[in-house]
Structure 1
């Protein structure tokens, strides 16, 4: 079952604002601003490719951040980045409002402790259903 990430309003502003600022100026306003680039990179097409790629990466993360509960695996997808956590290795889950980086688009997160000392935070839109699906496969998970 696939669970989309919860998306905070401020994250919407940050990601969409940064993506638009990276994509629009080099394409539509090529002489706007001062570009701090070495001479060999001072070509318009290079700027468009580098900044456009970065902007597209941000949008990819926005549209493709989700969490999938499969047979024995929690698959975490954040744009091009993927991680798998064995559900049998999950020891505990607790709610957190952690501002630090994670494959999440909200500060309203679930912190998952797995293996010995590994931790990952995710922000599914429907937290209770995700927890229910994880508990069905591993009833030993401690909910804090």
Structure 2
């Protein structure tokens, strides 16, 4: 049962980039209709190429969250959800990695676990750390503003 949900922190520049890109994708067929006097067939074709991309960007933008149950971390990113057993977490460290990740901010944390790692950006990092520590007693503060399994 999920008992803690954290939203992604959103950097303003990234929000403008994603929302602006979505708006541009939506405006392409409108521009074609108003200024180029194109046929309905052409406008529909352009719409079929651009509007799904805009919708996909918006779904990903508004649908990133991190949920904790008693024994798992669920990372929801658009249409997929990744499940990480809490007992497998070995390190949680702060990072500014620009790697592709289910995170809308560069103020991120990297969660290393047996079998891999994931980078996320919870808005309430301190609350996220506390919630993880409540569930995994073996994770202790490492002095570098992170958590490590002892």
TM-score, normalisation: structure 2: 0.82
Pairing 1:46–2:48 present: no
Q: Over residues 76-117 of structure 1, what are the superposed CA-to-partner deviations in whole Å (9 max), with x where a residue is unaligned?
A: 11221221111111111000111121000000001000014x
105-114 or 56-65, which deviates more: 56-65
Q: Which runs of 5+ in 1 are unaligned?
A: 34-41
Q: Which runs of 5+ in 2 are unaligned?
A: 141-146
Q: Which one of the candidate residues 12, 16, 19 is aligned to 1:9?
A: 12
Aligned residue number for residue 118 of structure 2: 120
Paired residue total: 134
Aligned residue number for residue 81 of structure 1: 80
1:91–1:140 contact (8 Å) kept in structure 2: no
Aligned residue number for residue 102 of structure 1: 101
Aligned residue number for residue 138 of structure 1: 136
Flag as ranges the 4+ runs of structure 1 deviating above 4 A: none
Q: CA deviation at 1:18?
A: 0.9
Aligned residue number for residue 59 of structure 2: 60
2:28–2:50 contact (8 Å) kept in structure 1: no
